[in-house]
Chain A
């Protein structure tokens, strides 16, 4: 794969989208991908073949992204982001005053989520839904679910309380769930 130019272009393309979602900065994303690629080439003999090449290169990329996040002054940037983003309106709008689901927003059963993950078009919807989250919310969610941080580490890194962290993760999951349902699972019958 590393010697096939077409495969390599495809791989690089997916890595770049992933890095841009994480960092929301085209230049930083480009640098992280570049470094990950260089490191993959330099260590090609370490690739055991147990993982697929793509998952191996992605694990290198995730480490690079964590490095970038650690290098930047996250806490300061984050508090600015949070101030700009944070309201509970997006979640509140789904519920009635008594805390029950609004009729229009109660979750429906999803047909075959495993099948979705094998559908190439699904991942475009997934990326768009992630990108649609407010930046601070997406940042916390991705640190937790993609980069493997524990919530305590996230609180530390971003200088937020654990309650804050739970509120943000809740908001992220509710938002993503709703977006995936609306843009993928609700139309699954027609595909």
Chain B
């Protein structure tokens, strides 16, 4: 079964939320071997998860001096 890039992105996303079947994993690997766009996508899904968890954990520094990010003193 040949997957389209769109289907591959869906599976890459679902792989973060459920166990893929053997058949799904094989079709995914087959596609990734031939497609650099989807290979980048798959890798970036993992980066996205790491980045998001880091943010939610408060494990980041922000630049308070950036004018657009500083709300009025009254509201903050």
Measured CB to CB, the residues of A under 8 A from B are 9-10, 12-16, 18, 52, 54-55, 57-59, 61-62, 91, 94-95, 98-101, 106-110, 113, 116-117, 120-121, 123-124, 126, 142, 144-147, 151, 165-166, 169-170, 173-174, 176-177, 180-181
CB contacts (< 8 Å) of B23 on chain A: these are none
A169 to B17, CA, bound (A): 9
Mind listing 5 A-B residue pairs with CB under 8 Å?
A54-B59, A123-B61, A126-B51, A145-B52, A145-B53
Measured CB to CB, the residues of B under 8 A from A are 4-7, 9-10, 13-14, 16-18, 36-38, 40-41, 43-45, 47-64, 66, 68-71, 76
Interface of B is mostly: helix
A180 to B47, CA, bound (A): 11
Contact A110/B66 with A117-B54, A145-B49, A166-B17 known, Cβ cut-off 8 Å: no
Task: List the 3 closest pairs (A to B, CB-CB), nearest first.
Answer: A99-B4, A58-B58, A106-B37
- How near does chain A come to B35, taking the closest CB pair, in angstroms? 8
Establish whether residues B51 and A117, one from each chain, have CB atoms under 8 Å apart when the complex forms: yes
Contact A107/B62 with A98-B4, A166-B14 known, Cβ cut-off 8 Å: no
A164 to B5, CA, bound (A): 20
- How near does chain A come to B10, taking the closest CB pair, in angstroms? 5
Establish whether residues A62 and B60, one from each chain, have CB atoms under 8 Å apart when the complex forms: no
Establish whether residues A121 and B5, one from each chain, have CB atoms under 8 Å apart when the complex forms: no
Additional pairs, 18, CB under 8 Å, beyond known A55-B57, A91-B6, A170-B9:
A14-B58, A18-B56, A54-B58, A62-B56, A95-B4, A99-B6, A106-B37, A107-B41, A110-B47, A117-B51, A123-B55, A126-B51, A146-B53, A147-B56, A166-B14, A170-B10, A177-B41, A180-B48
